[in-house]
Chain A
Amino acid sequence: KAGVTQTPRYLIKTRGQQVTLSCSPISGHRSVSWYQQTPGQGLQFLFEYFSETQRNKGNFPGRFSGRQFSNSRSEMNVSTLELGDSALYLCASSLGGKEGTEAFFGQGTRLTVV
């Protein structure tokens, strides 16, 4: 069974630009969550999508947005990039219920803003 796939693996963008990251969850998983990992803040929850609806949102500015498609694939968008947005962005998929809520992570997308 294929794992969680994130594309691209690496990205370099300039301040002010926007970026879109993609995540394909494990087949059959309906929940997709996004996390940001930085050395200073650790792993921080961005948002969760379930059946194409945002089910939860973390404390990030509105420049961070996402969506989920009918096949459960998800995209995350960051507009007006800032230097502080440089981070490892991780996507996690899970079945969606409470029991068996274990989230399985992709390899991440390393975003560098210059």
Chain B
Amino acid sequence: DQQVKQNSPSLSVQEGRISILNCDYTNSMFDYFLWYKKYPAEGPTFLISISSIKDKNEDGRFTVFLNKSAKHLSLHIVPSQPGDSAVYFCAASPYYGGATNKLIFGTGTLLAVQP
């Protein structure tokens, strides 16, 4: 059962335009969400996170939006740059009544930014 879903396996965007990556989740016990960027044969690199008590978080060119009622989050990258080309993973952390750093990952979206 895939609790975190990224329904678009790939996305192609022109340099300078906005990239929007989407993620849906099914478990209402998730209370913290993160986005990671990954190159082949390397570990994921943390990009940005958001707590479930917020609906938006910005960090430079990256903004994450959370819609709890729809169980949906998105990552906006503006402006997109060729160096942003990578696989992007959405991840969620469940609340178990205590701290945990367990992450449930989506299947990833391959972003290609065309010069």
Query: Do A102 and B41 have beta carbons less than 8 Å apart?
Result: no
Q: Tell whether B100 is near chain A: CB-to-CB under 8 Å.
A: yes
Query: Do B101 and A94 have beta carbons less than 8 Å apart?
Result: yes
Q: Tell whether A98 is near chain B: CB-to-CB under 8 Å.
A: yes
CB-CB < 8 A to A55: which residues of B?
99-101
User: In A75-95, which residues have CB < 8 Å from any B CB?
Assistant: 88, 90, 92, 94
Query: Do A42 and B51 have beta carbons less than 8 Å apart?
Result: no
The contact size tier of chain A is 20 to 34
A contacts, CB < 8 Å to B: 4, 6, 31, 33, 35, 42-45, 48, 50, 55-56, 58, 88, 90, 92, 94, 96-99, 101-108, 110
A51 to chain B, nearest CB (A): 11
A10 to chain B, nearest CB (A): 10
Q: Tell whether B103 is near chain A: CB-to-CB under 8 Å.
A: yes
Query: Do A97 and B99 have beta carbons less than 8 Å apart?
Result: yes
Query: Do B43 and A90 have beta carbons less than 8 Å apart?
Result: yes
Interface size on B, residues (CB 8 A): 26
B29 to chain A, nearest CB (A): 13
Query: Do A48 and B100 have beta carbons less than 8 Å apart?
Result: yes
Contact of B104 among A45, A99, A107 (CB under 8 A): A45
- CA A104 to CA B42, docked complex, whole Å: 12
Query: Do A33 and B107 have beta carbons less than 8 Å apart?
Result: no
- CA A20 to CA B32, docked complex, whole Å: 31
**Interface 1/0s, chain B 54-95, versus A by CB < 8 A?**
000000000000000000000000000000000001000101
Q: Tell whether B25 is near chain A: CB-to-CB under 8 Å.
A: no
Most A-side CB within 10 Å, residue of B89, B96, B100, B106: B100
Contact of B100 among A4, A56, A90 (CB under 8 A): A56
Query: Do A96 and B99 have beta carbons less than 8 Å apart?
Result: yes
Closest to A49 in B: B101
B43 to chain A, nearest CB (A): 3
Knowing A98-B32, A108-B41, A108-B42 are in contact, say whether A103-B103 is a contact too (CB < 8 A).
Answer: yes
- CA A65 to CA B49, docked complex, whole Å: 29
